[in-house]
Amino acid sequence: MKKNFIDKSKTYYTEKRWHHIEGMLHLLDDVKKIYHLSDNLYNDLKIAILLHDTGKKFDSEYNKYPYSGIIHSRISYKIAKHDFGIKDRVILNAILFHPTGKAKMSTLEKFLYVIDFSEYNRKFSKAKKIRGLLLEKKLTESLLCSSKMKLDYIKSTEQAIHPNTIEMVKYYEKIY
Ligand SMILES: [Fe+2]
Ligand SMILES: [Fe+2]
């Protein structure tokens, strides 16, 4: 990956959010070793990580939208497409679906979802638990467990639950 791609993506983040991206990249490097990721998958994941939250810079005006937590992913999707010229559907979909997850996720989507939830700079105990499962090579378990945690959290805040989140939990409960 070219350095100017990384530098450009960095301009979309505040210092705090870039810290989140760095935590994810660090975890990705460990995941690559443990799961023996191909160079292609590793590079695609790196792009998805760098671009997945770029839309957060612009989403504050949508706070009152029922699914306000997912607006940034739609903006990030457009930024990836138009500002960075990403054409790969798998990368674009991973960015688009990263806050909610969905049924039948691609490998890229699964890793992005779990790494986002459990990156090294997330210090809360639930993130540590998911990170532990991920690093023990239990990808599906970490995916299901983190999606349930997210669902419980959304319920506790009385926000609207996106149908994709419910479908994801149902789907992975059935196959796990
Ligand atoms: Fe996000
Ligand atoms: Fe994120």
Q: Which residues surround ligand 1, an ion (CB under 5 A)?
A: 53
Q: Mean pLDDT per 10-residue run, the chain (176 residues)? A: 92 97 98 98 98 90 73 95 97 97 97 98 97 98 96 88 94 91
Domain regions of the chain by residue span: 3-175
Residue 7 has a pLDDT of 96
Taking the centre of ligand 2 as the mean of its atom positions, its distance from the CA of residue 76, in whole angstroms, is 11
Taking the centre of ligand 2 as the mean of its atom positions, its distance from the CA of residue 102, in whole angstroms, is 16
Taking the centre of ligand 1 as the mean of its atom positions, its distance from the CA of residue 106, in whole angstroms, is 17
Q: Count of H helices and E strands in the chain?
A: 9, 0
Task: Please tell me the number of the ligand nearest to residue 69's CA.
Answer: 1
Homologous superfamily (CATH) of 3-175 is: Hypothetical protein af1432 (1.10.3210.10)
Taking the centre of ligand 2 as the mean of its atom positions, its distance from the CA of residue 66, in whole angstroms, is 19
Residue 32 has a pLDDT of 98
Q: Which of 48, 116, 112, 114 is nearest to 84 (CA)?
A: 48
DSSP secondary structure code for residue 14 in this structure? -
Residue 166 has a pLDDT of 94
Residue 69 has a pLDDT of 78
Taking the centre of ligand 1 as the mean of its atom positions, its distance from the CA of residue 73, in whole angstroms, is 6
Residue 160 has a pLDDT of 86
C-alpha angle 162/163/166, rounded to 5°?
100
Task: Please tell me the number of the ligand nearest to residue 21's CA.
Answer: 2
Residue 62 has a pLDDT of 67
